[in-house]
Each structure stands twice: as C-alpha cells, then as structure tokens.
C-alpha cells in the first residue's frame, strides 16, 4: 500500500485552464502539506493542514486553493494556470508528535503548462 499517493503523476494543460491534484495518505498522520519543486529542484512550502484546518499559507497566488475534506486527504486546485506554474508538486504528511515527525512524501505530480 502506498503511504502517500498523488494523482495524477503527470499533468499537461494549456494556459488559463483549471486543474486539480489529489493527495491521500493512509498513515493516520494529522498534518499534510503541499510543496512546490521548481526546475532547479528548490522546494518551497505552499500550504499545510492540520486535521482539516489550514495552518500554513505561504505567499502563494490565490489562484491556488487547497481543500482538505478529511485528515487523510489534501487536494490542490489551481485556477487560470500560468506558464510559471509548471513545476513538480509534492504532497507530504507528518505525524503530530514531535518524537516521530518527519515528512513522508508522495511521488509528485509534474505539472506542465503550455
């Protein structure tokens, strides 16, 4: 069983479209994250949810909207896609207790905007 699964793995779309990326974790973790990895492999946090509540919202265009229907799922919806949104998007989860935390990452969604 995949611990953190993201779909789709690849996403190619035209500018101006709206798309969603889904993430699910079966680890029972309370906290989930979205990170963006650019072409230079730099990882930047976008959002974090703790048990369905938004707790980190970095400086991200409001075209990006996360949604967490329950603590096992964190989806990312992107409106009006732009060329600069092309990147690999990683979902991650972490347990709440400090002794055990460390992220478990999904395998990523490579988004290409053309």
Partner 1 sequence: AQSVTQPDIHITVSEGASLELRCNYSYGATPYLFWYVQSPGQGLQLLLKYFSGDTLVQGIKGFEAEFKRSQSSFNLRKPSVHWSDAAEYFCAVGPPASGGYQKVTFGTGTKLQVIP
Q: How far is the CB of 51 from partner 1 (least distance, A)?
A: 10
> Is residue 77 within 8 Å of residue 20, measured between CB atoms?
yes
d(CA 23, CA 82): 22
Of 1, 42, 62, 70, which one interacts with partner 1 (CB under 8 A)? 42
62 sits near partner 1 (criterion: CB under 8 A): no
Cα–Cα nearest to 4, from 87, 98, 107, 109: 107
1 sits near partner 1 (criterion: CB under 8 A): no
Q: How far is the CB of 113 from partner 1 (least distance, A)?
A: 19
> Is residue 76 within 8 Å of residue 33, measured between CB atoms?
no
Q: Is the dihedral of CA 44, 32, 107, 23 positive or negative?
A: negative
7 sits near partner 1 (criterion: CB under 8 A): no
Instruction: Give the interface with partner 1 as residue ranges (CB under 8 A).
Output: 4, 31, 40-43, 45, 48, 50, 55-56, 90, 92, 94, 96-99, 101-108
């Amino acid at each position: 069983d995949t611990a953190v699964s993201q779909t789709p793995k690849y996403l190619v779309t035209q500018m101006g479209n709206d798309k969603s990326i889904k993430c699910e974790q079966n680890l029972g973790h309370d906290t989930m994250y979205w990170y963006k990895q650019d072409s230079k492999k730099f990882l930047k946090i976008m959002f974090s949810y703790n048990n369905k509540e938004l707790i980190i919202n970095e400086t991200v265009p409001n075209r990006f909207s996360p949604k967490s229907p329950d603590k096992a799922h964190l989806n990312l919806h992107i409106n009006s896609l732009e060329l600069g949104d092309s990147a690999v998007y990683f979902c991650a989860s972490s347990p709440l207790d400090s002794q055990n935390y460390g992220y478990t990452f999904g395998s990523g969604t490579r988004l290409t905007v053309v």
